Structures are given as structure tokens and as C-alpha cells.
Amino acid sequence: MIAVKNYINGAYQKPDRDLWLDAIDPSTGKVYGKISNSSSEDVERAYQAGKQAFKTWSKTSVEKRSEILSKIADLIEANIDKLAEAESMDNGKPIRLAKTVDIPRAAHNFRFFSHAITQFFSESHDQISQKSINFTLRQPIGVVGCISPWNLPLYLLTWKIAPALAAGNCVVAKPSEVAPYTAFLLGKLCSEAGLPKGVLNMIHGCGATAGQAIVEHPDIKAISFTGGTQTGAHIAKAAAPLFKKLSLELGGKNPNIIFADCDYENMLQTTVKSSFTNQGQICLCGSRIFVEKSLYNQFKCDFIEKIKQLKVGLPSEESTDIGALVSKPHLDKVLGYIEKTAQERATILYGGNRVFVRGGEDGYYMQPTVIEVSSNDCILNQEEIFGPVVTIMPFETDKEALALANAVPYGLSASIWTNNLKRSLHFSEQLQTGIVWVNTWMQRDLRTPFGGVKSSGVGREGGFEVLRFFTEAKNVCINYE
């Protein structure tokens, strides 16, 4: 039995009240261990460790911080197989995906910000007529809170803690209690890399207790959160009276707009990926597919033929394309949306059922699902399902496609498939999203800003944007007359 303990002040510790949650392997539905169910007392211990460590970490040279973060990246890469196996078992994702994307990206996050902090710059302004110079100091905030989700556990946790540490802050992190195993393993690697005690502290447990205690702590100065929109709204409400800095990366209901003049084969293969990678449990998945009417019937047939070739199976098998959904409650939620197709005047073209996999009969598997909808106003097109479910719908004009794409509460990402440059630029300007991909999907450059608009969040991660978030700007004016 694995015991996922808290990592506080450079050591693993059991929760203060000795309360635990079950750790469940979604591929089998079986308990594989126990997870710390932490309280506000655990958060306070983590904060005090961070507060003490901040006195020296904030004064540590940029070069030294960069060196330690690079060592963490090296150790993640050296342990890629172990971490990928843990991630796959904990989350249900195919082992192949964990090995080739999730764990390498976690290492890349640390390595990228280890270099970015050495290039981070500030501003200065000469006032010749007044004989003065203004310059901006960028100083670490203090102890910050980083709360990450279950869909890309190590990937998104490191996306937050790496820039926070690089900027000189100390961190109290709360990984999702649904998939905490790789975060637990990361603590040891950070110690091996020479990260000083108390600089990074990880608290495991429920959002309503451990997460709430981090958000409400009066001396944790900033919160970076990735997760559901409803939870983000709750965090914003709780943090506002305390005047905390907030970065909220929330839900998405992303349009995938396909025009008849696209590179058809490239579009088709990429659309399968953008629909069902990680069982559709990525906030950037293109869950609403709009196809130009002249191409619609051909696309519908070819798309379904491609999907039929996807293998739903044990995450541990290299040949698996679609693993298990992360939990039984989440599986039930996704299946609940599919049950609404009839009342929404929609038609299931493929899938829609739970799958029972040999060797994982009690696991949380389901078919990739394609639903044809007649209206963009239906629940299936307006609410985030966050599973292997996409809707498809035809459009006739550019104006109609743009209106359909924007007519949702969310605004995270969009994909456009066309070889018309003028149309590409027009849509890129008019789409109400934080990210636009043209003739591609999930092609990321960590230097670029990442985040959404409307109900998809507040603020931006990535590049210098996140280093600005994790620092306070102080203007200094010197008169030399």
C-alpha cells in the first residue's frame, strides 16, 4: 500500500489529524494506496516552512536558482519510466502518452524557467528634462499557493511551481487528490537536486479543506489555480477580500472550425487527436466541431472511420489509444451528458457506451463518442463535458461559423482549418479566445502567453507573463540633478 504523504520542510510527513483518502487506480477501480487528507493545520505548517525558507531563497542568486531547477529537470528525465508508470496508474492515461508527453513536459517546464529567469528583464525610463531616472524592481512575492488539477497532474503542477520558484518565491502546492502520486514522488527529486528545505511544500487532500485553507490563508500572497470554472469563481470570491493576486486557468468549450479548403488529411488526423487525447480530459480539446456544409458529409464518414480504429484498453499497454477516465464520479458525469442527447434533439453517430476491458473490468472506460447536434444552444454545446465526447454541426458562411464559435460562456482556445490567409487572420482577430491555432492543435511554445477569456479564466501563464505574476513591481525614481 502506497502512502502519499505531505512534503513539508524537505521531508515527508503524515497529515496532522492522521486522516486519509483512498487512492484508486481508474484502470481497475481498485484501491492502490492512501492519500493524506490534510487540514488547515498542515497548511499552516507548510506556510511556516515556506516563510522561513523565503528569507534565504529570495536572496539566492538567479544563477543558483537556475542551477537547482535544471537539476530537477535532469532528475525528472532520469526517472521518466517510473514517473510515467505512476502517472498512468494514478490517472488512467495511456502509458505511451505519459512517457512521450506528460513527463517530458514536466522536465521541460523546469528547464525552461531555469533559463527564463536568467533572461527576465525590467524597465528603466530616463527623464532628461527633469534629470531623473525611473527603474522597476521585480521582487518575489513571498509564499504563494499553487493548486493544480487531475487531468495532467505533473505537467500542470510543474507549470506553476517552476516559475514561482524561479522568481524567488516559496510555494505551498496542492495537487489534485484524485491523482497525486507523481507530485508525491517529485518531492524526493527536489531534495536530491538540492532545493533547500521549505522552499517547496506539497499538501495533499480535498479542495474544501486543504485547498480552502491555502486560499484563505492571510499571508499566502498569491494563488495560481487550474481547474473548473465553478471552483475558480469560489476561489475568486474567497480571495478578493484578502487582496491576493490571482491567476485562474479554468474550463473550455473549444471550437474546431473546418473549412472546405483545408489540408484534409492533416486536419482529419489532428482532429482525432484534438478530440480524444487523454480521453478528452484536456481543457484545450476541440469539443465542438463545426464543418463547412460542402465538406460535412465526407468529414462525418471519414472521422467516424478513424475513430473506430482507436483502441480503448488498459493504460499499461503501449497499443492503447484511449485509457480510463479518471474516476467513477467523472465517468458517471460524462455518461449523464450522453443520456441527454434525445431531449437535446441530438443524435449519437458513434459510441456513447461504457466499455468493459479485459483485465480492468471494474475500470472507468467508455467509447469515444460523436454526437450530431442541431443547435449550438443545446447543453451538449454549452457546458464543458471534459470527456471523450465531441459534437459536430455544419455551417454555411464565415459569419455563421464565427458566431457559432463565440456563442458560449467560455473562451480558452480555438482551431481553424483553412488555407485562406485573409480568413485565418480575420478569425484570429475576432475569435473570443486566449489561444488560436491555425492548421494545427496543441502546438505550444512556452514563451507565449497561455490563458483564456470570459469564463475560461483570468490572467496568463507562460513565458515572462507568469514571471510577472509571481513578482511584485516596484518603481524607483532617482533624481540626479
**Residues carrying an active site annotation:** 249, 283
For residues 481 and 478, what is the distance between their CA atoms, to the nearest angstrom? Answer: 9
Q: Is 22 helix (H, G, I), strand (E, B) or coil?
A: strand
**How far apart, in whole angstroms, are the C-alpha atoms of residue 285 and residue 152?**
13
- pLDDT tens digits, one per residue of 444-468: 999 999 999 999 999 999 999 999 9
CB-based contacts of 344, cutoff 8 Å, min separation 6: 373, 378, 379, 380
Q: Which residues pair with 436 in a beta bridge?
A: 414
Report pLDDT digits (tens) over 263-311: 999 999 999 999 999 999 999 999 999 999 999 999 999 999 999 999 9
- What domains are defined for the chain? 2-250+456-479 (3.40.605.10), 255-445 (3.40.309.10)
Contact call for residues 21 and 175 (beta carbons, < 8 A): no
CA distances from residue 322 to 370, 431, 443 in whole angstroms, order as listed: 15, 30, 21
Do 79 and 196 touch, CB atoms closer than 8 A? no
Q: Calculate helix-pair angle for 421-430, 398-406, nearest 10 degrees.
A: 30
pLDDT, tens digit, 9 for 90 and up, residues 137-162: 999 999 999 999 999 999 999 999 99
SS3 364: strand
Q: What are phi and psi of 65, to 5 degrees?
A: -60, -45
Q: Which residues contact 242 (CB under 8 A, 6 or more apart)?
A: 216, 218
Share of the chain above pLDDT 70, in %: 100
Per DSSP, 311 falls in state: P
pLDDT for the residue 411: 98
Contacts of 25 (CB under 8 A, 6+ apart): 31, 32, 89, 90, 92, 363
Predicted pLDDT at 436: 98
Q: Is the pLDDT of residue 479 over 90?
A: yes
Report the C-alpha dihedral over residues 268, 274, 275, 281, rounded to 10 degrees. 170
**Model confidence, pTM:** 0.97
Per-position DSSP letters for 349-361, written without gaps between them? EE--SEEEETTEE
Per-residue pLDDT, 128: 78
* Number of helical (H) and strand (E) elements in the chain, helices listed first: 16, 25
Q: What is the structure's pLDDT at 127?
A: 86
Neighbouring CB atoms inside 10 A of 439's CB total: 16
Burial of 475 (0-12, 13-18, 19+ CB in 10 A): exposed
Measure the CA–CA gap between 417 and 441, rounded to whole angstroms: 10
